[in-house]
């Protein structure tokens, strides 16, 4: 077999299949009961009957083609995103391979495969559930720091210590720049004022157990993560309650119920957060501190900086804002996920830097 055939056709085809396999795992990770869990992501299930559609490590694309995108058990139409994510990941893998297989080297290609897989997984979860799992971004930051030592060419460096230094600068730049934008957004945009025509259920608890983040639910449509609402120590959320239960016990409220970063104020009397397992009741409105961005985006862009440096951070942020700000006029969705556009900006940087 001529070497040109292997290098120009067979190897890219194998890389395409590898990317499809990784895309299958990403689908499993996103749609697992615990998004971000790689172990649970190895089985892709039907969202209707929960029957395993297939093992994520089985050949990609095949089941979508053979069963016409339907579950073979209940014939429920599977989300198109399954196939789209597999094709997207496969295409990204091939592009990176063609860019990096020669210079700056295979380890750079492997590292960018990892970065793009993490970005696709985190951005997909963010789009689907409006949350970016720390399991992906924090591990990604650590992986990017290590990868920069193994493949310093990612940052245009030649020694492992310069690669790690550039990675650290990228992490800090991503954190500081987007954190500053987040704080400025909170100051400029103030608060969200929810008003309901009749009393609705509200709750403050940890649905998945003590290891899960605290979730604030106001009616059926408004959900907030505790650490994103109370990012600043002076943030307060006022809830107009008509009924209140703390740890399962009914509590009378005469004037106001206020939630603060480290606890709750009931008519001015404070209850420490660590003493409360759950709060529920009825409310007619709430005044919620508003953020321009979730803190998960800060960790997401720090992950980008860990792999490809501070310049990529700035390009990703500028690209994302350049798309999102005009897009808000045309999209009806109340909250637009920011991380997919950060990921797009990072990929644009990769293409232009190494093309």
Residue 159 pLDDT class (50, 70, 90 cuts): very high
pLDDT at 139 over 80: yes
Q: What is the C-alpha radius of gyration for the chain, rounded to an integer number of angstroms?
A: 23
Q: List the Cα angle 296/301/304 in 5-degree steps.
A: 135
313-346 pLDDT, tens per residue?
A: 999 999 999 998 888 777 655 567 899 999 999 9
Q: Are 118 and 29 in contact (CB under 8 A)?
A: no
294-318 pLDDT, tens per residue?
A: 789 999 999 999 999 999 999 999 9
Supply the pLDDT for residue 37: 53
**Residue 256, C-beta contacts closer than 8 angstroms, at least 6 positions apart:** 238, 240, 265, 267
Residue 104: cis peptide before it, omega within 30 degrees of 0: yes
Query: How much is the average pLDDT of 117-131?
Result: 90
State whether residue 55 is helix, strand or coil: strand
**In terms of C-beta density within 10 A (0-12 exposed, 13-18 middle, 19 or more buried), how is residue 287 classed?**
middle
**In terms of C-beta density within 10 A (0-12 exposed, 13-18 middle, 19 or more buried), how is residue 117 classed?**
buried
266-286 pLDDT, tens per residue?
A: 988 899 988 888 899 999 999
pLDDT at 156 over 60: yes
- Locate the domains of the chain by residue range: 1-94, 102-186+293-355, 191-289
**In terms of C-beta density within 10 A (0-12 exposed, 13-18 middle, 19 or more buried), how is residue 217 classed?**
middle
**7 or 19: which leads in pLDDT:** 19
Main-chain phi, psi angles of 241, to 5 degrees: -90, 145
Residue 161 pLDDT class (50, 70, 90 cuts): very high
Can you tell me the distance from the alpha carbon of 139 to that of 285, in angstroms, rounded to the nearest whole number? 38
Averaged confidence pLDDT in the chain:
84
20-75 pLDDT, tens per residue?
A: 889 888 887 777 656 555 555 556 666 667 666 655 445 566 656 655 666 666 76
Supply the pLDDT for residue 44: 65
Can you tell me the distance from the alpha carbon of 124 to that of 82, in angstroms, rounded to the nearest whole number? 11
Nearest residue to 306 (alpha-carbon basis) of 154, 123, 177, 161: 154
Whether the model pTM is above 0.85: no
**352 or 235: which leads in pLDDT:** 352
pLDDT at 18 over 60: yes
**Residue 277, C-beta contacts closer than 8 angstroms, at least 6 positions apart:** 205, 247
Q: Are 26 and 41 in contact (CB under 8 A)?
A: yes
Supply the pLDDT for residue 66: 59
pLDDT > 90: what percent of the chain?
Answer: 42
Can you tell me the distance from the alpha carbon of 281 to that of 153, in angstroms, rounded to the nearest whole number? 56
Cα–Cα distances in angstroms (integers) from residue 139 to residues 26, 122, 180, 257, in the given order = 15, 12, 23, 38
Give buried/exposed letters for 69-83 (b at 16+ CB in 10 A, else e).
ebbeeeeeebbeebb
**Strands 249-250 and 222-225, bridge-based pairing:** unpaired
């Amino acid at each position: 077999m001529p070497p040109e055939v292997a290098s120009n056709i067979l190897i890219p085809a194998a890389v395409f299949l590898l990317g499809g396999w990784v895309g299958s795992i990403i689908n499993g990770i996103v749609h697992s009961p615990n998004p971000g869990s790689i172990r649970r992501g190895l089985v892709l299930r039907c969202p209707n009957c929960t029957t395993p559609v297939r093992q994520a490590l089985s050949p990609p694309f095949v089941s979508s083609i053979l069963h016409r995108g339907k579950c073979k058990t209940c014939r429920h139409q599977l989300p198109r995103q399954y196939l789209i994510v597999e094709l997207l990941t496969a295409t990204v893998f091939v592009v990176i391979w063609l860019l990096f297989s020669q210079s700056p080297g295979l380890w750079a290609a492997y590292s960018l495969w990892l970065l793009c897989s993490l970005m696709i997984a985190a951005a997909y979860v963010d789009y689907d559930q409006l949350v970016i799992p720390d399991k992906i971004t924090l591990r990604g930051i650590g992986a990017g720091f290590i990868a920069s030592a193994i493949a310093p060419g990612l940052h245009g460096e030649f020694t492992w210590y310069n690669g790690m230094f550039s990675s650290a600068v990228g992490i800090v730049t991503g954190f500081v720049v987007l954190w500053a934008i987040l704080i400025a957004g909170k100051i400029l945009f103030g608060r969200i004022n929810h008003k309901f025509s009749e009393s609705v259920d509200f709750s403050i608890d940890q649905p998945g157990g003590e290891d899960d983040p605290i979730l604030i639910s106001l009616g059926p449509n408004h959900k907030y993560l505790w650490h994103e609402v109370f990012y600043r120590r002076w943030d307060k959320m006022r809830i107009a309650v008509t009924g209140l239960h703390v740890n399962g016990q009914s509590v009378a409220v005469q004037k106001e119920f206020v939630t603060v970063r480290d606890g709750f104020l009931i008519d001015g009397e404070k209850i420490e957060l660590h003493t409360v397992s759950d709060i529920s009741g009825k409310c007619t409105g709430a005044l919620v501190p508003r953020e321009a961005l979730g803190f998960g985006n800060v960790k997401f862009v720090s992950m980008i900086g860990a792999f490809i440096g501070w310049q990529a951070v700035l390009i990703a942020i500028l690209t994302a804002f350049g798309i999102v700000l005009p897009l808000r006029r045309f999209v009806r969705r109340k909250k637009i996920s920011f991380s997919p556009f950060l990921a797009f900006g990072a990929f644009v940087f990769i293409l232009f830097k190494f093309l």
